[in-house]
Structure 1
């Protein structure tokens, strides 16, 4: 056994413990959590200044885009970003794999223990198979033209099988890239078995503008990509409100980014029987759109909020603490306890791994992170994370 003592231990499911001690066995399973040792331990005790918390859960990443780090200019907006991804994503397989492996190790070193990763190909299969991290792979389906919906869906099912025995599912990419026909195929499949969903949502104003009026930058994007949109009719409502009826009520759904989601959208969601979770990737939002979601609208709404890093195509690092730092800076009222909940147990619950990860509880193997450089209990530019276990 081994014990770790810190100024505070944050179990996340309960109040922080001052001068807390976490004891684990050789496999990282938690044996006990106390605020004192009545007897002198007969095993190693490490003393640390800072806060001990569970390993982080990254609910949105694209490991297969890791080779695009520093290759896409910042602040160009989502539509330009999509064009750049399409232009630059193809590279030598060895280059893509080397970057993916490096990214996987970076997440491990930054205290991440589980990842909801989005894939469009099978290139990350080998990386995930030998990783120390838990992965759930979301195989994204693209197809705004209705004609080939069934083929695209069947191809996605076959790709998801390539990631097994690890956890995987098929999902829509975004409202602007998936036809109603494809949404219906995904819903039918999701209604009849386990199929976790993760959908990019309202990353820019043009997405809502397209759904409301069939105007804006997406018109030019479809033309650039050679996609015929004659079949699409404007919905006179935001994209999120338009697709909610097309989604299953039998699976958990993660809406990612939510940069332009407003209070009417949130209230609209609440009227529907859907298992909605929300993921913020603030550093990617700043990288692409130079703006953040209206996070304060989501707080105190009883919503399950998680955190993601997005890919290295839109971020300088894969680090959940870095995402917390950005949120703390822009929204100072957010407490450390709230941010830790978003970065640990909420993500674990969404991914269905909360029996083993997400909180510090006896019998779990959640990983242990040490957070240092706090100002009281506020995250600062000097705050760092160190993986203890």
Structure 2
């Protein structure tokens, strides 16, 4: 057994414990969480900072890790998509080595579980051998209605390659998935277990396209030679347009939400959908140089999680770094709340909250130590160290 004492222990399911002590067995299972007045038997390692559960990264693309520093920052989503398509096909050995390195980086940054988006089978061996828990979202692209069945069948084939690892089929984004393909995914989701993760409202052009069939996406489709004559303006934002096409049987993660507004949030409350939000602020700054209006989402009754996105749009795969960016812009959001978003909320979405997300006896959530705090506030000097 090992016991650790810190300035604060954040069990997450209960209030923070000042001078708390966490005891784990040799396999990382929580034996006890107590205060300094009830010390366990045996030695206790004294630490400075906050002890909290391991982090859950609900949105990543490890197969894009080889694109680190390859894509111009602050160039907008449309140009980002063009660059991804131009650079993504690289030597398989290079891609696989970058995936392995990304996996190790997340482990060292205290991440214990990942919701990862894949378009190929290249990450399968790394995930199979990883110390992290992965749920792979097999992503579908296809805006042409006539291609829907072919694309869905390919996704089913890739899904079979990932099994028995946790995996599901998911749409990429409103602007890249036809109504027909959305319906095939919904039918598949309604008939079994199929967790959903979809990129949502990353830029204003997405809403412009859905409302008026105007904006940068028109040029993007022309760039890729895609005929969009079948698409009619919807007179409403993209999120409002696709919500009826999503399953009500599965948890749905809406990722980024950079241009989601209060009307969108109220609109989805009218539907019987199991909506979760994921924020990836460093990627939003990298691509669009703006952040979501995160304060709008708080206390609306939805589950909020955190993600890193990929190294194509981020300098590091670190949930603490995402927390730091949020708290700098929105100082009213407490560290306790951010830790909740980065632990139990992500575990709950991925369906692993019986093992991860809180420091409760019997669980194996991992233990992180956060140092370099100002009181309980995250600073530029704050770091995370994995204890277990």
Is TM > 0.5 for Structure 1 vs Structure 2? yes
- Name 1:79's counterpart in structure 2: 78
Cα displacement string for residues 278-337 of structure 1 (whole angstroms, at most 9, x for unaligned residues): 000000000000000000111121220000000000000000000000000000000011
Q: Which residue of 2 aligns with 1:232?
A: 231
CA change 1:340–1:313 in 2 (3 A) is: same
Q: Secondary structure at the match of 1:243?
A: helix
Distance between the aligned counterparts of 2:329 and 2:60, measured in 1? Answer: 22
Q: Give 4+ residue runs of structure 1 displaced > 4 Å after superposition.
A: 37-40
| Post-superposition CA distance 1:194-241 (Å, at most 9, x none) | 000000000000000000000000000001001110110110000000
C-alpha displacement at 1:113, in angstroms?
0.1
Q: Distance in 1 between matches of 2:121 and 2:39?
A: 53
- Which residue matches 1:47? 46
Cα deviation for residue 41 of structure 1 reads: 2.2
Give the equivalent residue in structure 2 for 1:124: 123
Query: Corresponding residue for 1:254?
Result: 253
The CA deviation at 1:254 is 0.1
The 2-side partners of 1:292 and 1:3 are apart by 39
**2:163 & 2:317 partners in 1: Cα distance?**
24
Query: Is 2:60–2:115's contact at 8 Å kept on the other side of the alignment?
Result: yes
Alignment-derived partner of residue 23 in structure 1: 23
> How big is the shift at 1:154?
1.1
Write out per-residue CA displacement over residues 135-173 of structure 1, whole angstroms, 9 at most, x where no aligned residue: 000000000001011111011011011112210000000
Sort the Cα spacing of 1:362 and 1:223 in 2 relative to 1 into closer, same or farther, 3 A.
Answer: same
Does residue 387 in structure 1 map to residue 386 in structure 2? Answer: yes
In structure 2, runs of 5+ residues without a counterpart are: none
Q: Which residue of 2 aligns with 1:169?
A: 168
Q: What aligned pairs does 1:173-252 form with structure 2 within 5 A after superposition?
A: 173-252=172-251
TM-score (norm 2): 0.99
Displacement of 1:38 after TM fit? 4.4
State the match for 2:8 in structure 1.
8
Query: CA–CA distance in 2 between the matches of 1:46 and 1:166?
Result: 36
User: 1:60 maps to what in 2?
Assistant: 59
Quote the residue 2:359 is aligned against. Answer: 360
Q: d(CA) in 1 for partners of 2:15 and 2:37?
A: 19
CA distance in 1, matches of 2:132, 2:165: 11
The residue that corresponds to 2:310 in the other structure is 311
Q: What is the distance in 2 between the residues matched to 1:306 and 1:222?
A: 31
In 1: Cα distance, 2:37 partner to 2:30 partner: 15
Q: What secondary structure does 1:370 align onto? A: strand
**CA drift at 1:36:** 2.5
1:98-122 alpha-carbon deviations (Å, 9 max, x no partner): 1110000000000000000000000
RMSD of equivalent CA atoms: 0.8
Tell me the matched-pair count: 388
Q: Take 1:361 and 1:279, find their aligned partners in 2: how far apart are those partners?
A: 24
The residue number in structure 1 matching 2:372 is: 373
Provide the secondary structure at the position in 2 that maps to 1:350. helix
Greater Cα shift, 112-121 or 30-39: 30-39
Query: Which residue does the alignment assign to 1:113?
Result: 112
The whole-number CA distance in structure 2 between the counterparts of 1:40 and 1:242 is: 56
Report the 3-state secondary structure (helix = DSSP H, G, I; strand = E; otherwise coil) of the residue aligned with 2:145: coil
Alpha-carbon distance between aligned partners in 2 of 1:214 and 1:192, rounded to the nearest angstrom: 33
TM-score, normalising length from structure 1?
A: 0.99
* Structure 1 residue runs without a partner (length 5+): none
